[in-house]
Amino acid sequence: MKRREFLSKSTLVVGSSMLSFPALLQAGSEQSNNVVVKTADWQGLRKLFALSHDYIHLAAFLLASHPKPVADAIDRHRRAFDVNPADYWHEHFMTIDQEISAAAASYMGGDASQIALTDSTTMGLALVYSGLTLRPGDEVLQTVHDHYSTDLSLQLRAERTGAKVRQVALYDDPSTVSVDEIVSRLKTAIGANTKVVALTWVHSSTGVKLPIRAIGEMLKALNNQRTESDQILFCVDGVHGFGIENEDVTTLGCDFSIAGTHKWIFGPRGTGVVWGSDKGWAQCTAVIPSFSRSYDVWLGGSTYDQVPIGEHMTPGGFHSFEHRWALPEAFKLHLQLGKANVQQRIHQLNSLTKQGLSQLKGVKLHTPLNAELSSGLVCFDYNDMAADDVVKAMHSKGIIMSSTPYRKSYARFAPSLINNEQEITQTLAALAAVR
């Protein structure tokens, strides 16, 4: 049978061959589907994690522990692959990316067709910044506050193509930053040749959350004065707002929102998404061939426009399928909890942490107290200690935290949905005892 015929008939073929293990799949599915958490049930949510109770986890955002619905789905797919990998893959590969993108859209907004699937924030940043259409002389404007992954994605693009990249500081003192200061500094830095503005929603270096919607409105006003060919694209590394902030991505005013889904959203490790507006995707080309229905375009069975742009932009190759295919469970879990409830809870715990830190002797708080300009990360200095020394001292007291991975490093707490008020109180008391 020719490859094209096999692809088109794979569902029929698999339908009979799958009869050897439906009970296995059904059992796994029932195990996952029976796990239901109530709206805003934080104690119930904590029970879904295998996280050790020997520690207070204030760095859980670095890499998610899989909650039970996600872990069960991963296990279900893994067992099916182990029983019959070829048939299980051929049964799903032509449609499952659409299903995952639809689950992502139900959580983040937008249309499933606009969402590409990746392995991480870093992969998403590299795909977008490598694929953007830039003319000679076009400039990409980023900030001095961005993560290594943004800096290097843009630097490598510049080295390959000669694209011009420039940086701007949006604030000097993060603890006193204002919306007006951020928007004003960015607007002043934009020049006639600026074609792309590349920002980070929540700075993991300081905990500052940028006013993305206000920035989007400012850029829209500037674009209204520009010709179509000179429009500015607005790209956002959204990973530390994604899974916290109750937002619809289509209303933020950006053209790309890029995020790993194995942090705040509790998705499978090694997963991520890129949402792009129609305007954004129209100015971005694929970097890695897709294995979705794009394959059928190559075979001649479909035309390019018959395949959603998000599928064209989803990198192909054989991934850790059991992880990617389990991603919808993470979105379902957050929607069960309620997006507004999630935002309120994380901000509540972070406000409690910041207020407590601000009252401790020896603490210099760098993250704004204002929830409008902060999210789930709290950065600070303590008693002139090196950030890593603070981390080690707290670890010895049973508290896992982190230091910011930047040239200027701060100690960092990240209160999340797995934490509670008592843990914050214990943490602050433990820090006060560090000498």
- pLDDT tens digits, residue range 176-230? 999 999 999 999 999 999 999 999 999 999 999 999 999 999 999 999 999 999 9
Which of 262, 261, 274 minimizes the C-alpha distance to 132?
A: 274
Percentages (nearest 5) of helix, strand, coil residues in the chain: 50, 15, 40
Q: What percent of the chain has pLDDT above 90?
A: 88
The strand pair at 164-168 and 194-200 is best described as unpaired
Confidence band, pLDDT 50/70/90 cuts, at residue 33:
low
Q: How far apart are CA 231 and CA 251, in angstroms?
A: 18
Work out the average pLDDT over 307-312: 97
Residues contacting 65, CB < 8 A, separation 6+:
49, 50, 51, 266, 418
**pLDDT beyond 60 at 30:** no
Which of 188, 189, 198 minimizes the C-alpha distance to 163?
A: 198
pLDDT given at position 22: 45
Q: What is the pTM of this model?
A: 0.92
Query: DSSP H helical segments within 261-412, as ranges?
Result: 278-281, 294-299, 309-312, 321-324, 327-337, 339-358, 387-395
Token output for 101: 């993108």
pLDDT given at position 334: 98
pLDDT given at position 94: 84
Computed on alpha carbons and rounded to an integer, the radius of gyration of the chain in Å comes to: 23
Q: What is the DSSP string of 84-133?
A: -HHHHHHHHTTTHHHHHHHHHHHHH-S-GGGEEEESSHHHHHHHHHHHB-
Residue type for 77, please?
A: H
Q: How far apart are CA 279 and CA 352, in angstroms?
A: 41
Residues 41/118, Cβ–Cβ less than 8 Å: no
Over residues 315-341, the pLDDT tens digits come to 999 999 999 999 999 999 999 999 999
Residues 169/144, Cβ–Cβ less than 8 Å: yes
Q: How far apart are CA 358 and CA 366, in angstroms?
A: 10
**pLDDT beyond 60 at 8:** no
Q: How far apart are CA 143 and CA 190, in angstroms?
A: 12
Over residues 238-292, the pLDDT tens digits come to 999 999 999 999 999 999 999 999 999 999 999 999 999 999 999 999 999 999 8
Residue 234 host element (H or E): strand 233-237
Residue carrying structure tokens 């929830």? 371
Q: How far apart are CA 20 and CA 84, in angstroms?
A: 9
Domains of the chain, with CATH numbers?
A: 121-261 (3.40.640.10), 338-432 (3.90.1150.10)
Which of 422, 418, 419 minimizes the C-alpha distance to 49?
A: 418
Token output for 69: 């619905």
The residues with which 344 forms a beta bridge, in sequence order, are none
Q: How far apart are CA 101 and CA 105, in angstroms?
A: 6
Token output for 401: 């935290």
Residues 362/383, Cβ–Cβ less than 8 Å: yes
